[in-house]
């Protein structure tokens, strides 16, 4: 049971926000923040009021049922109404518990996605390319903005590695479930015997953080500049524009060479470094919190196999929730993506509730 005081506080907060937002003196920035909070509360305010009135409504119906003078038709109606009231109460309670769960402050942030070819040689690099195209299609459908930070292509036209920034609304809350090992089972174009091969690619999704979120001391950084390698032509390969930034305390190192400008490469490198350091600290805190319980679904271990894409059977299976969809083509087109993400999100919420 949720304490009545907690529910009453929600209703009071909603009323106070309503009053504040109708004021003419409210600052624009404060207005935007409070509007979002008010909008979030609007989704549960009716459920909160019904939750509070449950006992009163239930007692009134029980009075009818206990009244010997009540006719059979009235008793039948009261019995049906009581069952419906109890079912609705359980639904309201679950919805309110979800709403009251501690919010992940990173959920509203933009994200940095890193995709790397794993085991499987050239076929793994082709699969990494397929995954990147899938995320591009998801971004297009959701009107998110994707910007490639760095990219390394393979001989077969696949991708050895790609790092991209994705901006929009609640990006990290959607994509955080993608971190882990993605496995593909299919017949490679180079396979003459028609045998199914298994390859893999790793995906890491990090919340993108600004300088105000994470302060990095310049004294903790070692910056090395060198001449960029690989394709690039003219100035990319003829000047010391590539940058390697090493965060000495953690040992995390980031290299960036896609831009002709050393300054731009350093800025992009710092963006990746901030995200990795922020995630390192979040992981440390999560580990401390989860020592006494099972690890949660969410930003999973990058070494954990989370999903299999089986082409011969046309299926995609998410191993964390044992969900299989025979919609592989639609999934890779970004069509069935939300179906899996919503199931993962719900499971994560249920696990959080059970751990309260």
The yes-or-no verdict on residue 238 having pLDDT over 70 is no
pTM: 0.69
Are residues 151 and 191 located together in one domain of the fold?
A: yes
**How far is the C-alpha of 197 from the C-alpha of 188, rounded, in Å?**
7
Q: Which residues contact 53 (CB under 8 A, 6 or more apart)?
A: none
Are residues 206 and 185 located together in one domain of the fold?
A: yes
Residue 203 and residue 304 in contact, taking contact as beta carbons nearer than 8 Å: no
**Residue 311 DSSP SS3:** coil
**Residue 105 DSSP SS3:** coil
Residue 347 falls within a domain, yes or no? yes
Model confidence over 135-190: pLDDT tens digits? 999 999 999 999 999 899 988 789 999 999 999 988 998 999 999 999 999 998 76
**Residue 139 DSSP SS3:** helix
Residue 317 and residue 308 in contact, taking contact as beta carbons nearer than 8 Å: yes
309 DSSP β-pair partners: 184, 316
The yes-or-no verdict on residue 220 having pLDDT over 90 is no
Are residues 265 and 337 located together in one domain of the fold?
A: no
The pLDDT score that the predictor gives to residue 297 is 52
Are residues 316 and 176 located together in one domain of the fold?
A: yes
What would the two tokens of residue 336 be?
């069935």
Structural domains in the chain (count): 3
**How far is the C-alpha of 232 from the C-alpha of 239, rounded, in Å?**
11
**Which range of residues forms the domain containing residue 201?**
111-210+293-355
Q: Which domain-ending residue is among 40, 75, 100? A: 100
Are residues 190 and 332 located together in one domain of the fold?
A: yes
Residue among 110, 112, 109 nearest 150 (CA): 112
User: How many C-beta atoms surround the C-beta of residue 298 within 10 A?
Assistant: 18
Are residues 124 and 202 located together in one domain of the fold?
A: yes
β-strands 180-186, 305-310 pairing = parallel
Q: Which domain-ending residue is among 289, 319, 342? A: 289
Are residues 175 and 237 located together in one domain of the fold?
A: no
Give me the CATH number covering residue 279.
3.30.160.20
Are residues 170 and 222 located together in one domain of the fold?
A: no
Are residues 124 and 27 located together in one domain of the fold?
A: no
Instruction: Name the residue with higher pLDDT: 214 or 329.
Output: 329
Are residues 284 and 168 located together in one domain of the fold?
A: no
Instruction: Name the residue with higher pLDDT: 292 or 230.
Output: 230
Residue among 99, 100, 57 nearest 82 (CA): 57
Share of the chain above pLDDT 70, in %: 89
Ramachandran area for residue 232 (φ above 0: left; ψ -120 to 50: alpha; else beta): left
Give me the CATH number covering residue 168.
3.30.70.1660
Q: Which domain-ending residue is among 289, 311, 335? A: 289
Are residues 190 and 301 located together in one domain of the fold?
A: yes
Model confidence over 8-47: pLDDT tens digits? 999 999 999 998 888 877 888 788 888 888 888 998 999 9
């Amino acid at each position: 049971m949720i304490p009545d005081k907690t529910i009453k506080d929600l209703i009071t907060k909603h009323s106070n926000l309503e009053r504040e937002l109708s004021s003419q003196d409210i600052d624009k920035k404060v207005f935007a923040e409070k509007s979002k909070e008010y909008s979030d509360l609007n989704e549960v305010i009716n459920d909160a009021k019904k939750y509070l009135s449950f006992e009163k409504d239930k007692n009134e119906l029980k009075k009818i049922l206990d009244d010997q003078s009540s006719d059979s038709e009235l008793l039948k109606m009261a019995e049906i109404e009581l069952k419906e009231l109890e079912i609705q109460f359980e639904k309201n309670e679950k919805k309110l518990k979800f709403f009251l769960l501690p919010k992940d402050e990173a959920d509203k942030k933009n994200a940095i996605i890193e995709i790397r070819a794993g085991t499987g040689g050239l076929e793994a690099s082709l699969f990494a390319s397929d995954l990147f195209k899938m995320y591009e299609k998801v971004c297009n459908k959701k009107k998110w903005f994707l910007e490639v930070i760095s990219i390394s292509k393979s001989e077969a036209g696949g991708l050895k590695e790609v790092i991209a920034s994705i901006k929009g609304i609640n990006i990290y809350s959607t994509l955080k479930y993608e971190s882990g090992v993605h496995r593909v089972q299919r017949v490679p174009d180079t396979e003459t015997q028609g045998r199914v091969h298994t390859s893999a690619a790793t995906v890491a999704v990090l919340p993108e953080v600004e300088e105000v979120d994470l302060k990095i001391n310049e004294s903790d950084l070692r910056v090395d500049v060198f001449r960029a390698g690989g394709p690039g032509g003219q100035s990319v390969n003829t000047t010391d524009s590539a940058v390697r930034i090493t965060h000495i305390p953690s040992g995390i190192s980031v290299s960036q060479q896609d831009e002709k400008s050393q300054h731009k490469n350093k800025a992009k490198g710092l963006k990746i470094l901030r995200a990795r350091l922020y995630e390192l600290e979040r992981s440390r805190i999560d580990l401390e919190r989860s020592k006494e319980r099972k690890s949660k679904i969410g930003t999973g271990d990058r070494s954990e196999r989370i999903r299999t894409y089986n082409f011969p059977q046309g299926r995609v299976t998410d191993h964390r929730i044992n969900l299989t969809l025979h919609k592989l083509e639609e999934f890779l087109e970004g069509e069935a993506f939300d179906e899996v993400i919503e199931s993962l999100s719900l499971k994560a919420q249920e696990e959080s509730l059970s751990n309260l």
